């Protein structure tokens, strides 16, 4: 079972879309996605600096657009008609929008319109309070969770492979950094707010209203949810879960456990890739992975997808 996964916010880097513009059809696709999302994605992905593309309302459409265009390029690279598709898909945080598109739940245009709304709504919610997020690497899981509870911080991302992301007020995050759990490293993340926590409740309302106007189809591939790592069989429930996850923890650890239970034999991460394959290498040892960072990586990904690289 070969699956494709789609990264979340923070995976973007300045200029990372530049090599993709040489792929036939990509510029036209990005122009369409820019109109859908309300962001100049070509400029954002080729010219804007790190601070500018860190802005939530820019970063989220930029990441999803990159994932979708690289996914389309991957299918084209299989050189088969119809193209070979993966057996399943999953996305981390905002990457779940790309996963729903890949699974046929949403059209790519609806996905890009939705991520534009999501990014703006989460940016507005983040501006309402002084909050942030920090990655906690290593340490005893129970001790980490107990410390977060003590500080009234939320374990917003359970990433597996010994990594939890804490979210909440800046004062509480500073207290965590000043007195971390034994055996851990606390790394402040360059994000605008406490995503996947109660602080994002206003964004849930905005996204729910937008989702209600979208036609959702049932997935044509196995689609794993961020909420509990389980596959979702119907399109409208998948869309409801996508809306709810804005203010709920991302359980990527459970998704990877589900990958193992379903005997996944290969993982391809779409652009801007690297984060999720890194987690998989530690949590799913022995499972081949390919990170599609540039078009040069498409051949290896296509070989894994078609079985030639097994």
Written as six digits, the tokens of 184 are 């851990």
Place of tokens 């690297």: 274
* Phi, psi angle pair for 65, to nearest 5°: -60, -45
Could you tell me if 10 and 34 are in contact, meaning their C-beta atoms sit under 8 angstroms apart? Answer: no
Q: Is 183 left (phi over 0), alpha (psi -120 to 50) or beta?
A: left
Question: How far is 192 from 122, CA to CA, in rounded Å?
Answer: 9
Of 232, 9, 221, the C-alpha closest to 118 is 9
Print burial letters for 83-119: b (CB count within 10 Å at least 16), e (below 16): eebbebbbbbbbbbbbbbbbbbbbbbebbbbbbbbbb
Active site amino acids: 93, 196
Question: How far is 280 from 284, CA to CA, in rounded Å?
Answer: 5
């Amino acid at each position: 079972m070969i699956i494709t996964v789609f990264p979340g916010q923070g995976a973007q880097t300045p200029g990372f879309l530049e090599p993709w513009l040489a792929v036939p059809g990509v510029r036209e696709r990005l122009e369409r996605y820019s109109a859908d999302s309300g962001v100049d994605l070509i400029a954002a992905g080729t010219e804007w600096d790190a601070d500018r593309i860190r802005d939530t309302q820019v970063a989220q459409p930029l990441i999803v657009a990159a994932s979708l265009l690289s996914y389309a390029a991957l299918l084209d690279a299989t050189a088969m008609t119809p193209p070979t598709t993966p057996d399943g898909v999953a996305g981390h945080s905002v990457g779940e929008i790309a996963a729903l598109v890949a699974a046929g739940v949403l059209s790519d245009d609806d996905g890009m319109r939705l991520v534009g709304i999501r990014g703006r709504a989460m940016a507005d919610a983040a501006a309402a309070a002084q909050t942030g997020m920090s990655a906690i690497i290593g340490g005893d899981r129970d001790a980490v969770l107990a410390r977060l509870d003590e500080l009234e911080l939320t374990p917003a991302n359970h990433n597996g492979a010994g990594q939890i992301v804490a979210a909440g007020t800046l004062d509480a995050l500073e207290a965590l950094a000043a007195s971390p759990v034994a055996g851990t490293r606390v790394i402040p993340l360059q994000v605008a707010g406490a995503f996947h926590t109660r602080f994002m409740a206003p964004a849930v309302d905005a996204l729910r209203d937008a989702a209600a106007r979208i036609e959702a189809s049932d997935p044509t591939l196995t689609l794993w949810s961020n909420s509990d790592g389980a596959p979702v069989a119907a399109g409208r429930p998948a869309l409801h879960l996508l809306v709810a996850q804005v203010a709920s923890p991302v359980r990527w650890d459970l998704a990877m456990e589900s990958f193992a239970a379903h005997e996944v034999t290969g993982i391809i991460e779409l652009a801007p890739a690297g984060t999720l394959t890194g987690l998989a290498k530690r949590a799913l040892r022995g499972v081949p992975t390919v990170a599609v960072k540039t078009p040069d990586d498409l051949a290896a990904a296509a070989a894994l997808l078609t079985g030639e690289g097994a």
